[in-house]
Amino acid sequence: MRALLAMLLLALSLGAHAGLEPLNFDSPEQARRYQELLRELRCTVCQNESLAESKAELAKDMRLRIHQMMLEGQTDAQIKEFLVSRYGDFVLYAPPFQPNTWVLWLGPGVVLLIGLGAMLMVLRKRARALPADAGGIED
C-alpha cells in the first residue's frame, strides 16, 4: 500500500514538470516568476500552447533563453519586450491594447451594447403597442 502511494505521488510530481527542463534558480521566488512568465508566453511553432507546456524544441530554446535572462537580472517586462521585438505581439497570450487590437478588445462589448439597444427598442415598441390593444395580456 505504501509502495503504491509512493508510486502515485511520484507520477503526480513528474506530471507537474512535464516538458520542462530541470533548471537552477537563485531563489524560489525567481522560480515562481519563471513559471508564471512561461504561462503568459506563447510557443511560436505550436501556436496554441504556452511556453510552460510546449514540448517543441524551439519552446525549450526559448525557455532556456528566458531562464538565462532571468539569472542575468532582467525583469519580466524586459524579457517580454525582448521576445516581442523578435517574434511580435503574437508571443504574448494577452495581446496589448493598441490600435490594431481595439476591435479585438472592444468588439464583444460593442456587440453586446448593440444587442441590448435592439432589445430595448423592441421592448419599448411592444410596451407602446400593448395599451392600444384591447385584449392586453390575455392576447
Binding stretches for another protein (CB under 8 A): 44-45, 47, 57-58, 61-62, 65, 84-88, 90, 103, 114
Residue placing its CB nearer to another protein in the complex, 35 or 115: 115
Decide: 13 and 56 in contact? Cβ < 8 Å: no
The least CB distance from residue 12 to another protein, in Å, is 32
Nearer to another protein, 6 or 78 (CB): 78
Q: Which is nearer to another protein, 27 or 85 (CB)?
A: 85
Q: State which residue, 10 or 88, has the beta carbon closest to another protein.
A: 88
Closest of 41, 114, 128 to residue 77, by C-alpha = 41
For residues 20 and 63, the answer to whether their CB atoms sit within 8 Å is: yes
Bin 130: left if φ > 0, else alpha if -120 < ψ < 50, else beta. Answer: alpha
Beta strands in 9-132 (DSSP E): none
Q: How many of the other CB atoms lie within 10 Å of CB of 132?
A: 7
Cβ 92 to another protein shortest distance, Å: 12
Q: Nearest approach, Cβ of 101 to another protein (angstroms)?
A: 14
